[in-house]
Amino acid sequence: MVVILQKNATEQQIENIINHLKSFGFQIHQSTGAEKTIIGAIGVKPNFDIRNISILDGVEEVYRVTTPFKLASRSFQEHNTIVKVKDVEIGGNKLVMMSGPCSIETEEQIFKLAKIVADSGAKILRGGAFKPRTSPYTFQGLGEEGLKLMRAAADEYNLLVITEVMQNEQIDLIYKYTDIFQVGARNMQNFSLLKELGKVDKPIMLKRGIAATIEEWLMSAEYILSGGNKDVILCERGIRTFENYTRNTFDLSAIPVVHKKSHLPVIADPSHATGLRDQVPPMARAAVAAGADGLMIEIHHDPEKALSDGPQALLPETYLKLMDELQNIAEAIGRTLI
Amino acid sequence: MVVILQKNATEQQIENIINHLKSFGFQIHQSTGAEKTIIGAIGVKPNFDIRNISILDGVEEVYRVTTPFKLASRSFQEHNTIVKVKDVEIGGNKLVMMSGPCSIETEEQIFKLAKIVADSGAKILRGGAFKPRTSPYTFQGLGEEGLKLMRAAADEYNLLVITEVMQNEQIDLIYKYTDIFQVGARNMQNFSLLKELGKVDKPIMLKRGIAATIEEWLMSAEYILSGGNKDVILCERGIRTFENYTRNTFDLSAIPVVHKKSHLPVIADPSHATGLRDQVPPMARAAVAAGADGLMIEIHHDPEKALSDGPQALLPETYLKLMDELQNIAEAIGRTLI
Amino acid sequence: MVVILQKNATEQQIENIINHLKSFGFQIHQSTGAEKTIIGAIGVKPNFDIRNISILDGVEEVYRVTTPFKLASRSFQEHNTIVKVKDVEIGGNKLVMMSGPCSIETEEQIFKLAKIVADSGAKILRGGAFKPRTSPYTFQGLGEEGLKLMRAAADEYNLLVITEVMQNEQIDLIYKYTDIFQVGARNMQNFSLLKELGKVDKPIMLKRGIAATIEEWLMSAEYILSGGNKDVILCERGIRTFENYTRNTFDLSAIPVVHKKSHLPVIADPSHATGLRDQVPPMARAAVAAGADGLMIEIHHDPEKALSDGPQALLPETYLKLMDELQNIAEAIGRTLI
Amino acid sequence: MVVILQKNATEQQIENIINHLKSFGFQIHQSTGAEKTIIGAIGVKPNFDIRNISILDGVEEVYRVTTPFKLASRSFQEHNTIVKVKDVEIGGNKLVMMSGPCSIETEEQIFKLAKIVADSGAKILRGGAFKPRTSPYTFQGLGEEGLKLMRAAADEYNLLVITEVMQNEQIDLIYKYTDIFQVGARNMQNFSLLKELGKVDKPIMLKRGIAATIEEWLMSAEYILSGGNKDVILCERGIRTFENYTRNTFDLSAIPVVHKKSHLPVIADPSHATGLRDQVPPMARAAVAAGADGLMIEIHHDPEKALSDGPQALLPETYLKLMDELQNIAEAIGRTLI
């Protein structure tokens, strides 16, 4: 931690500040310049609230200096984490596609879509059985029935399953059917849930909250990692800004930043980021070009009848064409898709 | 719902759009102008996703027109909701103060603070026993032991209790000790929790999410109201913006807007909005002047030793002086505080 | 400036970083802890771009430490700046009201409104002759004719004049008619204009840009101050956020922050911040309670016929009632209005 | 324009609203449903402020329906605008590269960089002679001397020139040396400047303001177009959001949106969007994949000595490697770069 003193801080104020720092267990290094006095406080603990120092008389500014996350940081682990689920690796040179409907609706629907996913060369089937919806009046998901249908469809076409968990009570049930747990954007800071998922022995994909900083996102990953579960995958899905012509602002700059700050893989979700079908292909291409380790994409064979998010689902033929383009872009940057 | 067609929409596109609207059960009113054709679609259901129409060929723009919340709206109930808890009314002409520490820490602490709260004329004691913390390495609250201490302190000084609930499993336990449940900003869209709280027979104070629009906030209130619990209190506590010199941007404009759109009372929390003690008094005064129905304020007699959020806690003497100023401002706008 | 090194920075990287710092003229203080090495670099010049150090190998983070503004800072001048214009003081204990129409429209209009302003006890007449409009198709102001009318009306009722300057070529002309120049939000970073206004011997009111940080706002004040003009008044008028139910988010927290960081007076403009008449009174009251040194308020006796921003103009009777409330709130916090 | 009435609007209020609409020259279509009455008002003029209707009693919501820009809209011109400058086309299938230093510094520097730009296959040399700087204490550009050097260097290597204009007085001077005028982000709403540039017979590249909505950006383009200059090029360069780990958030979703709403070409500037050299290549690749019509990229052969923005300048070797990758990505989506 670095403490900058006010230009006109008195001797007594400085002494008081130093005593406070020592009482919190810091080692002190003081640098007195012509203009400013700076105190370096070594040994900041992850649970220290720097505002305890900011409010002291004579203090101008305090910087934490160390990132508040540790296990998630690149300085803790230099090499990339590669999450292995059966024969699929997430975070390696080969990109990973997670495709499927927003919600599981019927047996026919999920089997039809699973076949398209498998035919496209993707390895992971996505689909929601428990749905967090802004409105209490909209479709809330099929529940366990949906999980059963998705598992059966995935097994039929040799796919892995990823599905969302919304609360602690659902973990055991979902565990029986899924290969990867997804934590949605609205639950990124549901700390009770994150703690429980830290104890699970299956990978967790953690979506970025709609207004979460990259630091908060990595802090939420830290909750899972510090619980003992090392298999955390991040997923960028758009952030909230002042712009209204788009549903969210897809923050692709987050991808190289996360790769620099952390060793965890990052997936991008252009379907939720844009919310409209015709913007999904350009943003999917951009995410691959920006260095995403994979994509999550919503598809539907009959989107007008979809029970949720139909307008952002790609039609099968658009999806297959997009897969070809993504393959070309992946190759252009020295990676592969299929 | 209003559908604006593209200037060059073809006859066939228009027919297709109208057929779609009819298949969703809408009544149609078509207005054809020189420049634009507009279709009014009457009878939009709360669960209708307007993007189903936006993506049709020939459509330029779609407006929902009706607000997606109903029970929370001023048009559903014209008169103000007044939440009654024992002898305290929230939402009436008299403002309500909810004061106390961020976290309950010890018996001595909570009794000392409860006395200050009671002496100040406030009627409600705030304090957290379960704490949602960004970092897994920080103090997470005393749990049930904290609830017991707070209840005892409140009873001793004839105060009501408000405390935060973070997950479904805590509801029954907290119910035994609290008068009002608080839902924190991070859980504003924890829909499972909101649904459960809709079945509870005690009032719920719903904090606005850090990046929630006023509409989403009222939609979350709708979850509780539609579950049958009519006693919902809103609480503005600062939103996330680009500005870094403040912790959050305290959105006081939300207060008159909520009062226009909804009949529910609105409390303001300047402690979390600013995060620093010296900004709490001016923002508390501003909130009262803007029309808030009450304030939630953090206080501590020894904030340097507080286990959480000490830097934003007011010292007792500052708090008592502030109460006097607030009383004067309340009177200046024809309301009372104590 | 404080430079934090990466945990695993090599000897050679550290040497290279230190050499760079020395070549830029810094004095160096190195603190080596168990976890982190920190280099304090004393003597940062205001024009130094800290990214020159951030990009060196082995560097984790760089903090500037000193604020980039100097003349505008509270550490440069401890006492409040009081801007004196004839017999009016801006920044003292007495609040200042600047009231009038958005645009000057006709002789009758401006004389009628000037009379209302004077009757209300306000001392400054506001009104625009050159209007920055988002659309090229809207009313752009009366130009010099408007200035003449406003000056005559102000003189008739013994008021001061404040009006907006949009470009360098207008300065000489406007100088002849105004007492205070206003720089609008869209020109807050029109640096050519700020430089020219630094040479003028009349006060400048600098509105905050719609997405300007407080730091950038003070940097723009620095342009004027460093040109030699010490009479700078700041004006908060709402910032852009994700919220759509309000036109802007009125950032009242900026008021105590500016008062802490700077010695310059701060005016608040609730008319532009909210954009709708019925939200102006509560936000005007809140601004006074938050500590603003004055208010700028738009009024119109026939707002439906106003050529610009009619919907945010207060009717005379609402304005006069508001003045009474503001007087009461000012007194509640130990200040006066009239 | 569509006017939604309050559920409980009275007969008299409705009559008053309709009279207002008629007095503004609108044709009226009224649709009365069970729940809501909707009035379609045909013939909205571009200068109409819809708040004039929002504030009437009985009105719940008003939607403008028509975009406020016209000449810039896709519905005004269906085919893409291709801006031709000598033998270069901007907006066609071939992408356009604008490369060079942030500021022109010396003859040696600009000639060296112009050679690199020409060798890379790019056709346009960028460089600033007049620099808008946040701080009054930093390098403000070489002025005309810089323009002369850049023109000479461009002519030597057969390149076109693009450079920034900051104020009306500079237009004639810059006109003598440049092929394309650039309007910077801070001047996007400097309407006096936009009006003057509407009369110029050279193309204008209009950067998006740091907090400008896409609609405001297109409105600013409208200022230039309505002045008679049809050769407008847009440039996305990052927007301001809450995220601090990146300098700006590069809004790549804006590219497909602009292509849908407007016929104007869109360039992307990853150098200013990210502000740090190592994030430029992934974001440059992403912009091409998202459909940008070209890129503006800063390069420097000795960035540590650069007088402005050195940290975001690519080294020549990184730049040349990036050009190869971009060529591959362009081909992957059916376009070409060189």
Identify the DSSP state of A81: P
Is pLDDT above 70 for A117? yes
- Report d(CA B146, CA A25) in Å as an integer: 27
DSSP bridge partners of C235 = C207, C267
DSSP bridge partners of D84 = D89
Residue D28 and residue D125 share a domain: no
Residue C201 to chain B, least CA–CA distance (Å): 31
Last residue of a domain, one of A63, A96, A113: A63
pLDDT of residue C34: 62
Percentage of chain B exceeding pLDDT 90: 68
pLDDT of residue B44: 67
Digit-coded pLDDT (tens) for B266-287: 999 999 999 888 999 999 999 9
Is pLDDT above 80 for C167? yes
Digit-coded pLDDT (tens) for D223-232: 999 999 999 9
pLDDT of residue A46: 65
Q: Testing the interface with A: which of C5, C42, C247 to mutate, by most A Cβ within 10 A?
A: C42
Residue D332 to chain C, least CA–CA distance (Å): 32
Q: Which chains have at least 3 CB atom pairs separated by less than 8 Å from chain B?
A: A, C, D
| Interface residue ranges in chain A relative to chain C, Cβ cutoff 8 Å | 2, 4, 6-8, 27, 29, 31, 33-36, 38, 40, 42-43, 60-61, 63, 65-66, 75, 78, 211, 240-242, 244
Residue A215 and residue A141 share a domain: yes
Residue B48 and residue B197 share a domain: no
Per-residue pLDDT averaged across A193-222, rounded?
96
Residue C70 to chain A, least CA–CA distance (Å): 12
Task: Evaluate whether B324 touches B82 at the Cβ level (below 8 Å).
Answer: no
Dihedral angle, C-alpha D218, D224, D229, D234, nearest 10 °: -40
Whole-angstrom distance between the N-terminal and C-terminal Cα of chain A?
A: 46
Out of C43, C61, C244, name the one closest to residue A65 (CB).
C61
Per-residue pLDDT averaged across C237-249, rounded?
91
Set of chain A residues whose Cβ sits within 8 Å of the Cβ of D254? 243, 245-246
Residue D35 and residue D112 share a domain: no
Task: Evaluate whether C264 touches C82 at the Cβ level (below 8 Å).
Answer: no
Is pLDDT above 70 for B320? yes
Q: Please state, as a whole number, how many other Cβ atoms lie within 10 Å of the Cβ of residue A202.
A: 15
Q: Which chains have at least 3 CB atom pairs separated by less than 8 Å from chain C?
A: A, B, D
> Comparing C-alpha atoms, which of C242, B4, C278 is closest to residue D54?
C278
Residue A242 to chain B, least CA–CA distance (Å): 10
Per-residue pLDDT averaged across D28-36, rounded?
73
Task: Evaluate whether D6 touches D35 at the Cβ level (below 8 Å).
Answer: no
What's CA C1's distance to the chain center, in Å? 28
Residue C135 and residue C16 share a domain: no
CA triple A258-A259-A265, angle to 5 deg: 90
- Is A77 contained in some domain? no
Q: Is A205 helix (H, G, I), strand (E, B) or coil?
A: strand
| C-beta atoms of B253 and C253 within 8 A | no
Read off the pLDDT band of C177 (50, 70, 90): very high
Is residue A317 packed enough to be buried (19+ CB in 10 Å), middle (13-18) or exposed (0-12)?
exposed
- Report d(CA A57, CA B304) in Å as an integer: 13
Out of D132, D133, D211, name the one closest to residue C240 (CB).
D211
- Report d(CA D94, CA D334) in Å as an integer: 10
Whole-angstrom distance between the N-terminal and C-terminal Cα of chain B?
A: 46
pLDDT of residue D33: 67
Q: Is D161 helix (H, G, I), strand (E, B) or coil?
A: strand
Identify the DSSP state of B21: H
- Is D132 contained in some domain? yes
Residue B263 and residue B140 share a domain: yes
Read off the pLDDT band of D28 (50, 70, 90): confident
Task: Evaluate whether C309 touches C276 at the Cβ level (below 8 Å).
Answer: no
Read off the pLDDT band of C2 (50, 70, 90): confident
Pairing of strands D96-100, C160-164: unpaired
Residue B280 and residue B185 share a domain: yes
Of A75-79, A97-101, B150-154, C193-197, the least confident: A75-79
Residue A155 and residue A48 share a domain: no
Identify the DSSP state of A128: B
Residue D287 and residue D254 share a domain: yes
Residue B165 and residue B19 share a domain: no
Per-residue pLDDT averaged across D119-135, rounded?
89
Digit-coded pLDDT (tens) for A210-231: 999 999 999 999 999 999 999 9
Q: How many contacts does C have with D, using Cβ atoms within 8 A? A: 127
Instruction: Specify which of B162-176, C52-66, D4-18, D132-146 reaches the highest per-range mean pLDDT.
Output: B162-176
- Is A68 contained in some domain? no
Is residue A79 packed enough to be buried (19+ CB in 10 Å), middle (13-18) or exposed (0-12)?
exposed
Digit-coded pLDDT (tens) for C289-336: 999 999 999 999 988 777 777 788 999 999 999 999 999 999 999 999
Cα distances (Å, whole numbers) of residue B11 to A247, B7, C158, D215, D294: 30, 12, 65, 29, 37
| C-beta atoms of D43 and B31 within 8 A | no
Residue B233: both structure tokens together: 């209190």
Residue D68 to chain B, least CA–CA distance (Å): 14
| C-beta atoms of C2 and A38 within 8 A | yes
Q: Which residue has the higher pLDDT, D220 or C306?
A: D220
Residue D227 to chain A, least CA–CA distance (Å): 26
Find the residue in A nearest to B245 (Cα).
Answer: A61
Backbone angles phi, psi at A161, to 5 degrees: -120, 135
What's CA A1's distance to the chain center, in Å? 28
Is residue C18 packed enough to be buried (19+ CB in 10 Å), middle (13-18) or exposed (0-12)?
middle
Please report which helix (H) or strand (E) contains residue C327, including its range.
helix C316-332
Per-residue pLDDT averaged across C137-149, rounded?
88
pLDDT of residue A34: 62
Set of chain C residues whose Cβ sits within 8 Å of the Cβ of A65? 2, 4, 36, 38, 61, 63
Set of chain C residues whose Cβ sits within 8 Å of the Cβ of B243? 213-214, 239, 251, 254
Read off the pLDDT band of C33 (50, 70, 90): low
Task: Evaluate whether C106 touches C153 at the Cβ level (below 8 Å).
Answer: no
| C-beta atoms of B332 and C333 within 8 A | no
Per-residue pLDDT averaged across B297-311, rounded?
84
pLDDT of residue A215: 93
Cα distances (Å, whole numbers) of residue A314 to A112, A162, A295: 14, 19, 13
Dihedral angle sign, alpha carbons of residues C148, C153, C158, C161: negative
Residue A115 and residue A52 share a domain: no
- Report d(CA B239, CA B210) in Å as an integer: 5
What string of DSSP letters covers A220-236? Answer: HHHHHHHTT---EEEEE
Pairing of strands C180-183, C160-164: parallel
pLDDT of residue D283: 97
Task: Show the beta-strand stretches assigned E in D49-154.
Answer: 59-63, 83-85, 88-90, 96-100, 124-126
- Is C104 contained in some domain? yes
Task: Evaluate whether D99 touches D315 at the Cβ level (below 8 Å).
Answer: no
Is pLDDT above 70 for C108? yes
Digit-coded pLDDT (tens) for D61-87: 888 777 788 899 998 899 999 999 999
Question: What CATH number should be reported for the domain holding residue C145?
Answer: 3.20.20.70
The residue to which tokens 């719920």 are assigned: B204
Q: Which residue has the higher pLDDT, C59 or A258?
A: A258
Digit-coded pLDDT (tens) for B206-259: 999 999 999 999 999 999 999 999 999 999 999 999 988 888 999 999 999 999
Please report which helix (H) or strand (E) contains residue D137, including its range.
none
Residue C66 to chain D, least CA–CA distance (Å): 14
Is pLDDT above 70 for C29? yes
Read off the pLDDT band of D200 (50, 70, 90): very high
pLDDT of residue B56: 86
Of A175-184, C30-39, C226-235, the least confident: C30-39
| Interface residue ranges in chain B relative to chain D, Cβ cutoff 8 Å | 2, 4, 6-8, 27, 29, 31, 33-36, 38, 40, 42-43, 60-61, 63, 65-66, 75, 211, 240-242, 244
pLDDT of residue B53: 86
Is pLDDT above 70 for C123? yes
Set of chain A residues whose Cβ sits within 8 Å of the Cβ of B51? 275-276, 310-312
Pairing of strands B96-100, B294-298: parallel
Task: Show the beta-strand stretches assigned E in chain C.
Answer: 2-5, 27-32, 37-42, 59-63, 83-85, 88-90, 96-100, 124-126, 160-164, 180-183, 204-207, 232-236, 266-268, 294-298
Question: Mean pLDDT in chain A?
Answer: 91
Per-residue pLDDT averaged across D170-196, rounded?
95
Q: Which residue has the higher pLDDT, B37 or D298?
A: D298
- Is C185 contained in some domain? yes
Please report which helix (H) or strand (E) contains residue B108, including its range.
helix B107-119
Please report which helix (H) or strand (E) contains residue A62, including its range.
strand A59-63
Task: Evaluate whether C149 touches C104 at the Cβ level (below 8 Å).
Answer: yes
Residue A175: both structure tokens together: 């565990």
- Report d(CA C283, CA B287) in Å as an integer: 9
pLDDT of residue B302: 86
- Is B337 contained in some domain? no
Q: Which residue has the higher pLDDT, B62 or C144?
A: C144
pLDDT of residue B29: 78
| C-beta atoms of C276 and D51 within 8 A | yes
Number of structural domains in chain B: 2
| C-beta atoms of C222 and D276 within 8 A | no
Set of chain A residues whose Cβ sits within 8 Å of the Cβ of D321? none
Task: Evaluate whether B171 touches A200 at the Cβ level (below 8 Å).
Answer: no
Percentage of chain D exceeding pLDDT 90: 68
Question: What CATH number should be reported for the domain holding residue C32?
Answer: 3.30.70.1140
Per-residue pLDDT averaged across D121-141, rounded?
86
Find the residue in B nearest to C333 (Cα).
Answer: B325
Query: Which residues span the domain enclosing B214?
Result: 83-332
Task: Evaluate whether D155 touches D183 at the Cβ level (below 8 Å).
Answer: no
Question: Mean pLDDT in chain D?
Answer: 91
Pairing of strands C27-32, D204-207: unpaired
Digit-coded pLDDT (tens) for A259-318: 999 999 999 999 999 988 899 999 999 999 999 999 999 999 988 777 777 788 999 999
- Report d(CA B257, CA B263) in Å as an integer: 11
Task: Evaluate whether A130 touches A184 at the Cβ level (below 8 Å).
Answer: no
The residue to which tokens 């936006």 are assigned: B54
Contacts of B258 (CB under 8 A, 6+ apart): B214, B217, B218, B234, B236, B264, B266
Residue A286 to chain C, least CA–CA distance (Å): 24
Q: Is B235 helix (H, G, I), strand (E, B) or coil?
A: strand
- Is C301 contained in some domain? yes
Task: Evaluate whether C104 touches C129 at the Cβ level (below 8 Å).
Answer: yes
- Is D337 contained in some domain? no
pLDDT of residue B35: 66
Find the residue in A nearest to C35 (Cα).
Answer: A43
Read off the pLDDT band of D338 (50, 70, 90): confident
Q: How many CA atoms lie within 13 A of B122 on its CB side?
A: 29
Q: Kindly give the interhelix angle for D280-290 and D316-332, rounded to the nearest 10 degrees.
A: 20
Out of D4, D65, D240, name the one closest to residue B36 (CB).
D65
The residue to which tokens 């968990």 are assigned: A165
Q: Is B128 helix (H, G, I), strand (E, B) or coil?
A: strand
Q: Which residue has the higher pLDDT, C169 or C94?
A: C94
pLDDT of residue C109: 95
Residue A311 and residue A276 share a domain: yes
Find the residue in A nearest to D286 (Cα).
Answer: A286
Contacts of C295 (CB under 8 A, 6+ apart): C95, C96, C97, C98, C267, C268, C269, C270, C284, C287, C288, C326
Percentage of chain C exceeding pLDDT 70: 97
> Comparing C-alpha atoms, which of A168, A166, A167, A162 is closest to residue A147?
A162
- Report d(CA C280, CA B256) in Å as an integer: 10
Pairing of strands C96-100, C294-298: parallel
Q: Is B81 helix (H, G, I), strand (E, B) or coil?
A: coil
pLDDT of residue A247: 87
- Report d(CA C193, CA C171) in Å as an integer: 9
pLDDT of residue D183: 97
Q: Is C215 helix (H, G, I), strand (E, B) or coil?
A: helix
